[in-house]
Structure 1
Amino acid sequence: MKLDGKVAIVTGASSGIGEAIAKQLANEGASLVLAARREEKLTDLASFITNQSNGKAIVVKTDVTKKEDMEQLVEQAKQEFGKVDIVVNNAGVMLLSFMKNDEVDQWSQMVDVNIKGVLYGIHAALPDMLKQESGHIINVSSVAGHEVFASSAVYSATKYAVRALSMGLEKELSKTGVRVTNISPGAVETELTHHITDEEVLNMFKDRASSMKALQADDIARAVVYAVTQPDYVNVNEVVVRPMQQ
């Protein structure tokens, strides 16, 4: 168990990639602090981890768009486990739409969750990591943070921002003992697409579905485990995981 004795916070842990990351970290012996708004789903996940993995878990209902919630998340992790070794800023929304359709509220939601949520996670966890001269911040971006496609302009902008934050933070922390990794998943079979309301985008997705086999959430979770289980002198800066074309 490569993460025995380590404490990890995972945001957006109620489903999809976050849930898979939490399970994989627990299998390596980590103690998990599960954060999301859907407390019932987190409770089910915590029970699974405690009963069927090598780790243990607590639940902290959290809205990543609220700075105070993220501060309280870290405090509860410290109260329960004494420290925080890993923070996975995974919570995100993908409300793809064509800009001409003027979904301003959805644009704002993506900025709040995808950018501010990451910033608040860094804000809450970094001071203690600097004091203990160790820690690992994982930011989940996207291949949409590497390239832009029709309907992804705002979503891609938020994910480019996550990559920029990761790169800048890694340079700032290079001599502190705190590591930073940016994970960029390609198309993953999760509920992210279920929240898209733009009919033009949904039709476009249907047309493209046959050309690609989507990744599974576990594929991304294994990339996270790879990054956080490297020796202390190894800093995996970026991992891009894409599905193979059919």
Structure 2
Amino acid sequence: MGTNRNDLTGKVVVITGGSGGLGEQIAYAAARQNATVVVCARRINLLGKVRHNCEDLSGAPAFAFQLDVANPENIKEVVERIHDEVGAIDVLVNNAGFGHFEEALTFDMDLAEKMFRVNVLGLMYMTQLVAIEMADRGAGHIINIASQAAKMATQKSSIYSATKFAVLGYSNALRLELKPLGVYVTTVNPGPIETNFFDIADETGEYLKKVDLLVLDPTIVAKRIVGIINVPRRELNMPKLMEFAGKMYTLFPHVGDYLAGTLFNNK
């Protein structure tokens, strides 16, 4: 009888932004594979429910910690608590982040700075602290949730795309640095996912309707992410049409600009 490659029994899986949306579904998918799930987020009032659901799914203890990834001191405190109260982190899923769709000329730069602190710098602080321990053990997996916006920028996503381009570049270099140390780094680049992300990102409420055929189910995305844990995979891209468009954007820039300005200009 073969072993289940995706069985995560005994593995500590930490998920930032785990109080709802994709992060919540990743937590449940990991719990179904018997992981010891640790969810972190600012919304502590929602984390208790996620932790309880994970315990029901895995039959093992799960943990929840309030975390503001924009605060480096809070990140350090929470990582230390996880180490002391749960154990060494085997898998880190950097999922916390937010977006806001608006033209660059009118974008509130205070909000832009906050977006970089959450989407980029917070991810880097968290990753560095966890990766140091992983490198010392010679094992671990860091999964950074970027976006198809890291592959192809479109109108009204200048700031959000900039943060995700930064995550992709950081992840690509980090993967090369950590590979000889036995630590995997994977970047996940999803297109639009049907979550509350768009409650903030799209004030019009029309974007998901316009891209209905491209919208991803968060439970399916989460299952695919958990399915690549402990697999040395460079990237996970979805949906296929946006992955193809991203490749066109790189290989044929003029065609890419055309696609970005027409087919994928829905904000």
- TM-score after normalising by structure 2: 0.83
In the alignment, structure 1 residue 178 sits paired with structure 2 residue 179: no
2:141 is aligned to 136
Give the match for residue 223 of structure 1. 224
CA distance in 2, matches of 1:25, 1:241: 20
Corresponding residue of 1:189: 194
Q: Report how far residue 204 of structure 1 moved.
A: 6.2
CA distance in 2, matches of 1:66, 1:203: 30
SS at match of 1:60: strand
8 A contact 1:114–1:158 mirrored in 2: yes
1:236 aligns with 2:236: no
Does the aligned pair in 2 maintain the 1:27–1:54 contact within 8 Å? no
Answer yes or no: is 1:105 the counterpart of 2:110: yes
Counterpart residue identity of residue 205, structure 1: Y
Pick closer, same or farther for the CA change 1:206–1:143 going to 2, 3 Å: closer
Say if 2:102 and 2:156, in contact at 8 Å, map to a contact too.
Answer: yes
Shift of 1:103: 1.8
1:138 and 1:180 in contact (8 A); partners too: yes
1:139-189 CA-partner distances (Å, limit 9, x unpaired): 000000000111011100100100001100001111111110000011100
Task: Tell me if the contact between 2:146 and 2:188 (Cα under 8 Å) persists in the aligned partners.
Answer: yes
Partner of 2:83: 78
Matched residues in 2 for 1:197 and 1:242: separation? 20
Displacement of 1:53: 3.0
1:225: Cα distance to partner? 1.2
* 2:66 is equivalent to residue 61 of structure 1: yes
Q: Note closer, same or farther for the CA distance 1:197–1:78 as it changes in structure 2 (3 Å cut).
A: same
Paired residue secondary structure (1:10): strand
Indicate yes or no: 2:143 matched with 1:150.
Answer: no
Q: How far, CA to CA, are the matches of 2:43 and 2:137 in structure 1?
A: 31
Report SS of the residue matched to 2:181: coil
Aligned residue-pair number: 237
CA RMSD of aligned residues (A): 1.9
In structure 1, list runs of 5 or more residues that go unmatched: none
- The code of the aligned residue for 1:227 comes to I
**Structure 2 stretches lacking a partner, 5+ long:** 1-5, 243-267
Contact 1:215 1:243 in 2 (8 A): no
2:25 to 16, 20, 26: 20
Find out whether 1:89 has 2:97 as its counterpart: no
How far apart, in 2, do the equivalents of 1:207 and 1:91 lie?
Answer: 24
| Moved >4 Å (runs of 4+) | none
Task: Identify if the C-alpha distance between structure 1 residues 97 and 29 changes in structure 2 by more than 3 Å, giving closer, same or farther.
Answer: same
Judged with a 3 Å threshold, the aligned counterparts in structure 2 of structure 1 residues 19 and 243 are, in CA distance, closer, same or farther, namely farther
| Gap change, CA 1:204 and 1:151, over 3 Å in 2 | farther
Q: Does the CA contact (< 8 Å) of 2:101 and 2:157 recur in 1?
A: yes
